[in-house]
Structure 1
Amino acid sequence: MFSSRSLSSPFTQNQNLLIDQVMAAIFRNRPCETNVVASIPQPFWTVEAVSQVLRSIPRFLFQSPRSYNTLIFALCRVGNFKKAKFLMEQMELPGFRCPPDVFTYTILISSYCRYSMETGCRKAIRRRIWEANHLFRLMLFKGFVPDVVTYNCLINGCCKTNRIERALELLEDMVKRGIAPNRITYNSFIRYYSATNEIDKAIEMLRKMQEMNHGVLPCNSSYTPIIHALCETGMVVEARDFLVELAEQGSIPREYTYKLVCDALESAGKIDLLDAEFCTRLEDGIKDRIKEVMKIKPLLQHYSV
């Protein structure tokens, strides 16, 4: 199936894993397995390694947009945005076999937002967020209908780069189009407002998520930023109330969050506000979760070898 040049060049185990995932998306018409992709060590994701893998795949296997979407994802994964965008522009040419779809734009928008913060350069961050917003507008102009994943990627990128006005515009546009926000959508705003000490707005967004009832309930990722912000500002009683509310919904807080509230209450001399039975139940739940993680951890280490 591969060319003679690719057969003569030896591939490592990690390269074989990546080839299998790319071939699965192209030839077997199924998406990449996230756990297998995550098990590939970080140093392997280089431009040279990915290019070597992609060169070994015959051209006749590219028969659907998913094939090209996989290539675009691989190029974005190694930070080669120019080639990824060039490939998408080639797909948009008249008469091209596989025109881009919603997933093509979503992959690029998600990658621009996700990897912009890793550069550490403000100019590069602004440029990539601008590219993500430009692709989103281009996507709408060409008649594509973005889904909740597209909106979540762009909202999260805007919140992480302090573009809260743009994020709120996207949320409003999302609702107008009849797309229901989910937990990821609201958590992006909760994390932003908690990090900027606008705790009232973070709580307002949490209550809005509960009120709208879009099929999801707040969980650890929703309550934790608010609890941490309350403890940092000395509002220990309110932090305790949110901890109790989280536990009453059937969720077990993270160990760090639980200890943070306990230490804050003890420093304020209000440790009596936590019931002994309540503390025992939370500590037992945290221990049980640690045991479950330790059972899974050896399996993750085995797949990452």
Structure 2
Amino acid sequence: MTYCKAYTTVSLGVRGRGLRGRRARTPSRSTAARLIARIVLSIPGAGLAACGDAGPDPVELQTIRAVGLAHLEENRLEEAAAEFGRLVEMAPREAAGFANLGLAYLRMGRLDEAGTAVSRAVDLDPRDPAARLIMADIHLAAERPAAARAALDEALAAAPGHARALYALASLDADSTSAEAVARRTATLGLLATRHPGNVAARVEHVQALLAGNDTDSAASGLEDLRQLVPVFPVEGQDLFDEALRAARDGDAAGALSAVRPFHNVMRTTPGYQRGLRDLRGSGGVLAGLPVVTLGQVVGGGARDAGAVLAALRFTDVTELVGIAPGRGG
């Protein structure tokens, strides 16, 4: 029978030390992905709801998804493309499979194939902004900035206020000094800061854009809001912040900007700013001590007997698979 989507979220953490305090060998993400699939999908029917005729093996599909994503994170692009190529053959109605296949092709520089795959993803799920963000990157790689802007506008039409789409749109004007580009970037960053008021990176970039456009009153207000969001700045940034706020209140855009720029550089080193930037750009990789793989399937329901699931659970010893030496007794 065919299986409907159901909610499953799995994380595997590698903390850097194994049993008994011994140094553990960190498994590759592809090994971790296979391990996760083996554990999760060893539960009969876990995360799946039966709903129709025979179809692709859901266990195999989940494994392919996990391994393909792991290869993408490791920048093993040929392997990632092969996995997602298998996935779209087995599940030709799955938009995410085509989007990730296109992403692999994009990183390989195969732009025509990337565009074809991502276009299919957009056709399958027009309301999902993720594929349109990849399409914008394809257009930029092909030096088609107008087409990239159109793709981002479509992403925002599908998901108004989407943080990554807004930031990407603002970034298109980052290198231009024309009054039109500065005004457009400032307005986009202002919308980003309004929609995501807790994002420190968005707040700082908006203030800098306001000063570049000589709007000192709004910049002073933005700096005061930032101080409420981050009550304590790094020591080396406090004087710069005070100088920028003083100059902005005095209407001195050039003086405020000369202080905000180094202040911005200081803020880049703070965890709050880096966290906000990851939300705006997406994670460029997995950091040590964070989950190696996190899988989140968008799901629709499916009632099942909790007792039956519990009865199906079984323990699997994976210490050798992930390279953790078993501890000695005592």
Q: Report the TM-score when normalising by structure 1.
A: 0.52
Contact 2:203 2:226 in 1 (8 A): yes
Q: CA deviation at 1:18?
A: 5.7
Which structure: greater strand fraction? 2
Counterparts of 1:165-204 in structure 2, within 5 Å, are: 165-174=146-155, 178-197=158-177, 198-204=181-187
Aligned amino acid, residue 225 of structure 1: E
1:13 alignment partner in structure 2: 25
Q: CA deviation at 1:185?
A: 1.6
Matched residues in 2 for 1:242 and 1:162: separation?
34
* Residues 1:25 and 2:30 are matched in the alignment: no
Distance 1:260 1:200, change over 3 A: farther
Q: Which runs of 5+ in 1 are unaligned?
A: 1-11, 31-60, 117-123, 274-285, 294-299
Which structure: greater helix fraction? 1
2:75 alignment partner in structure 1: 79
2:115 alignment partner in structure 1: 133
**Bigger relative CO (Cα 8 Å, ≥ 6 apart):** 2
Aligned amino acid, residue 205 of structure 2: P
How many residues align? The count is 224
Q: CA deviation at 1:265?
A: 6.7
Counterparts of 1:65-104 in structure 2, within 5 Å, are: 65-93=61-89, 96=90, 99=92, 101-104=94-97
Q: CA deviation at 1:186?
A: 0.9
Aligned amino acid, residue 135 of structure 1: A
Distance 1:90 1:156, change over 3 A: closer
Distance 1:227 1:134, change over 3 A: farther
Which among 88, 101, 105 is matched to residue 98 of structure 2?
A: 105
Aligned amino acid, residue 128 of structure 2: D
Counterparts of 1:273-288 in structure 2, within 5 Å, are: none
Matched residues in 1 for 2:135 and 2:28: separation?
33
Q: CA deviation at 1:147?
A: 1.6
Aligned amino acid, residue 107 of structure 1: N
Aligned amino acid, residue 182 of structure 1: H
Q: CA deviation at 1:187?
A: 1.6
Identity across aligned pairs (percent)? Answer: 12
Matched residues in 2 for 1:194 and 1:139: separation?
29
Distance 1:99 1:20, change over 3 A: same
Q: Report the TM-score when normalising by structure 2.
A: 0.49
Matched residues in 2 for 1:16 and 1:68: separation?
16
Q: CA deviation at 1:14?
A: 1.1
Aligned amino acid, residue 119 of structure 2: R
Matched residues in 2 for 1:221 and 1:73: separation?
27
Q: Which runs of 5+ in 2 are unaligned?
A: 1-23, 43-56, 254-266, 275-286, 293-330
Distance 1:290 1:21, change over 3 A: closer
Secondary structure of the residue that 1:193 maps to in structure 2? coil
Q: CA deviation at 1:80?
A: 3.4
Q: Note the aligned Cα RMSD (angstroms).
A: 4.9
Q: CA deviation at 1:264?
A: 5.4
